Amino acid sequence: MLARRRPAGPGPTALLLVALLAAEARASWLIRRPLSPSGPELRQAARAALHFFNYRAASPSTVRVLKEVLNGTALIREEGENIKVAFSIESYRTENSQLGTCSALVGFKDHKSRPTVNISCTPLLDQKERKKEDYKLYKQIKQLETPPFETTIPGKLGDMDPSLQPLWELAMIGNSFLMWEKTTSTSSYYYVQQITNIKKWIRPDDFIILHYRLLLHEFRTQEIISCHLHLVWHPEKPSKTQYHCQDSGTQENGSGNSEGSGFL
């Protein structure tokens, strides 16, 4: 048997080259991570996506509510995560009892809010129906007398006067913008509990201006945050939202503003 000479080991230069190449490759690696449909990450992504959708659609008569997360995966990048998620939704207006599905790609940047969202949902109503319903609500709000300053929607018993429901539905557009902006990756999520101190104007160009105070429930800390929100809306034109929140413990202020389109 011929003795074999062991091949020479890689020289130091070769080692350095391999190390450099590996580092280069790792930077652009996208690690795919399967996620449980009942897990918190997918739920968080679905929430952020739906808030974004509701605010961009700016259609108070077809606000959607999350029903069930169906499936999804996470793609881990250096600066955060992209989460692909599919979920079922239902119409906020339970009397319609319509169902639908959405699929979205949500980009969370590490510890930064305002996740990027790319989303498409099945329509709840056809475009003509939706326009009709939004205009109906628009007329109701125009004709409505502004409720007294101390009126809360809902009331403390969870009651909502039917005449005030259009205001609550319109406010959900502004609330959705606020909740989307504040939703970070897996740390916090928010729900609006109540609105009050409602002021309503009609601008000369027929836009409705709604200004109100809202109580936001932050789930992880269980804190209630008071915010003021200013919403400018018209059924067929881009809407605009501005808000200013006061953090209960730290007096920290957060604010933001945006434009949402009339339809998607």
Binding region for other proteins (CB under 8 A): 38-40, 65-68, 92, 154-160, 191, 193-194, 215, 217, 219-224, 248-249
Q: Supply the minimum distance, in Å, between the C-beta of residue 76 and other proteins.
A: 19
Q: Which is nearer to other proteins, 143 or 222 (CB)?
A: 222
Structure tokens, 40: 């918190």
Instruction: Report the side by side order of strands in the sheet with 237-246.
Output: 152-153, 190-202, 208-218, 224-234, 237-246, 253-260
CA–CA dist 102, 66 (Å, integer): 10
- Residue number with CB closer to other proteins (67 or 131): 67
Closest CA to 99 of 110, 114, 112, 88: 88
State the nearest-atom distance from the C-beta of 89 to other proteins, in Å.
12
CB of 205 to other proteins, least distance (A): 32
Q: Within a 10 A sphere around the Cβ of 102, how many other Cβ atoms?
A: 20
Both tokens assigned to 130: 């939706």
For residue 264, the minimal CB distance to other proteins (Å) is 21
Cα separation of 15 and 21, whole Å? 10
User: Minimum Å distance from CB 204 to other proteins?
Assistant: 35
Query: Residue 5 or residue 156: which is nearer to other proteins going by CB?
Result: 156
N residues, the chain:
264
Smallest gap from Cβ 149 to other proteins, in A, equals: 17
**Token pair 């949402």 in the structure block, residue:** 260
The answer to whether the CB of 213 falls within 8 A of the CB of 231 is no
Q: Rounded CA gap, 239 and 234, in Å?
A: 7
Joined tokens for residue 35: 């996620």
CB of 150 to other proteins, least distance (A): 13
Residue number, 39 or 123, with CB nearest to other proteins:
39
Task: Name the residue nearer to other proteins (CB basis): 91 or 258.
Answer: 91
- Of the two residues 62 and 240, which places its CB atom closer to other proteins in the complex? 62
Using alpha carbons only, what angle is made at residue 223 by residues 118 and 88, rounded to the nearest 5 degrees?
30
Instruction: Identify which of 10, 5, 55, 35 has the alpha carbon closest to the alpha carbon of residue 175.
Output: 55
When the beta carbons of 30 and 65 are compared against other proteins, the nearer one is 65
